[in-house]
Homo-oligomer: A and B are copies of this chain.
Amino acid sequence: MGNADKVKTIAVLTGGGDAPGLNAVIRAVVRTALGQGLKVWGIKNGFGGMVENQLVELTNDSVAGILPRGGTILGTTNRDNPFHYPVVRDGQVIYEDLSGQALANLRQAGIEALVVIGGDGSLKIASEFYQLGLPVVAVPKTIDNDIPGTERTFGFDTAVGVAAEALDRLHTTAESHHRVMVLEVMGRYAGWIALHAGMAGGADCILLPEIPFSIDSVIAKIKERQQHGRQFSLIVIAEGAYPQGGEVSVSRIVEGSHEKIRLGGAGEKLARAIEQLTGVESRCTVLGHVQRGGTPTAFDRILSTRYGVAAAECVLEGAFGNMVALQKDRIIRRPIDDIAGKANNITADNELLRAGRSIGICFGD
């Protein structure tokens, strides 16, 4: 493994949650690699399929027509980690390190390099395999846009578009009914979707995990609008946003892993508090998984295609251990180890945040 100009066979897998553009990345990896004479395997169902040896050969026919389709033709899962893999022993589920078996499966199939398309969790696993000697290239995937080292992850633009369209629909109802409409969008730790969708959809308040909010500020904004004759308000809240000091009881229990998080219905609680404190009819909509699936926007199809081509080129040039990233409208390479396990949050000097303040958006602080 590892000698670039000898790589003849590669594999690609998709890990973690769904994100629009997965198929577009796969297509670009496959087409680029086949165009250079490589053989390409798909690993089904994420890292679990690496353990279970679920391989399928990918040809130009495999990827024909998949560019506009949501989901992933390879299947995925956000559960399985080969280094901590669930197996049943004596009727009980225990966790074992089956990374060796996973590597052996690749070796047996003659696979010399792996393209991992995934988010935070998948990058960590990819990094561990890389340290074990597997030539790995990663593509940053998350609708949340919270992977550091890249200006954009693919899937984000589509999620923002879906949320902004929902705001457009809620807007007319809010205005006609003199209501406060709250839209809860995805974003447990980072508020990128809320920030962008709120800006695109004309929200009056945008509440982010990065800025604990004061319910008083939100109420003040609603009242200020009423004084100017606007009998309605639109609020976007990230699922992970929470109030300062607990005026509204949004619970937020994080116990070490994504799976353990139980969010407390941030949007619903906020809507109830607003209705109670202002007397204005308030309604909450939780957009949920609609943000994660379906056909990607043109932007995401293009970004995914660029990422896929760039990942295949990393393989061809032997530039392993890298994640492809967007910077200054170009695709660059960043060492996975610099990124895995780190977060990308909205900071106080974020230009879009400041632009929002300039046009009078309340961020709850």
Across the interface, A299 reaches (CB within 8 A) one of B22, B229, B299, B329, namely B299
Q: Are B294 and A75 in contact (CB under 8 A)?
A: no
Copies of this subunit: 4
Q: Are B359 and A309 in contact (CB under 8 A)?
A: yes
Across the interface, A173 reaches (CB within 8 A) one of B32, B177, B289, B358, namely B289
4 smallest beta-carbon distances between A and B, as pairs: A70-B172, A169-B294, A71-B172, A200-B298
Q: When A22-B176, A31-B359 are in contact, do A68 and B293 touch as well, CB less than 8 Å?
A: no
Q: Are B31 and A360 in contact (CB under 8 A)?
A: yes
Q: Are A228 and B161 in contact (CB under 8 A)?
A: no
Across the interface, A18 reaches (CB within 8 A) one of B68, B176, B284, namely B176
Q: Are A164 and B306 in contact (CB under 8 A)?
A: no
Q: When A70-B173, A327-B328, A328-B328 are in contact, do A288 and B283 touch as well, CB less than 8 Å?
A: yes
Within 8 A of B (CB), among A85-131: none
Within 8 A of B (CB), among A186-211: 196-197, 199-202
Across the interface, A169 reaches (CB within 8 A) one of B45, B162, B286, namely B162
Give a binary string over A46-70; 1 marks a CB under 8 Å from any B CB, 0 the rest.
0000000000000011001101111
Decide yes or no whether A315 CB sits under 8 A from chain B: no
Q: When A355-B309, A358-B35 are in contact, do A157 and B294 touch as well, CB less than 8 Å?
A: no
Within 8 A of B (CB), among A150-173: 151-152, 157, 160-166, 168-173
Decide yes or no whether A76 CB sits under 8 A from chain B: yes
Across the interface, A70 reaches (CB within 8 A) one of B31, B169, B328, namely B169
Residues of B within 8 A of A22 (CB): 176
Give a binary string over A297-312; 1 marks a CB under 8 Å from any B CB, 0 the rest.
1110110011011101
Q: Are B290 and A355 in contact (CB under 8 A)?
A: no
Q: Are B71 and A18 in contact (CB under 8 A)?
A: no
Q: When A160-B298, A177-B18, A301-B200 are in contact, do A69 and B172 touch as well, CB less than 8 Å?
A: yes
Across the interface, A288 reaches (CB within 8 A) one of B157, B286, B352, namely B286
Decide yes or no whether A275 CB sits under 8 A from chain B: no
Decide yes or no whether A233 CB sits under 8 A from chain B: no
Decide yes or no whether A337 CB sits under 8 A from chain B: no
Residues of B within 8 A of A28 (CB): 355, 358-359
Residues of B within 8 A of A302 (CB): 196, 199-200, 352
Q: Are A176 and B230 in contact (CB under 8 A)?
A: no
- Tell me the complex Cα distance, A359–B64, Å: 12
Decide yes or no whether A214 CB sits under 8 A from chain B: no
Q: Are B32 and A76 in contact (CB under 8 A)?
A: no
- Tell me the complex Cα distance, A163–B166, Å: 12
Contacts A72-B176, A77-B178, A157-B299 aside, 14 further interface pairs with beta carbons under 8 A come to A22-B176, A45-B178, A70-B169, A71-B172, A71-B175, A75-B178, A163-B298, A168-B295, A285-B290, A287-B290, A297-B299, A302-B352, A327-B328, A328-B328
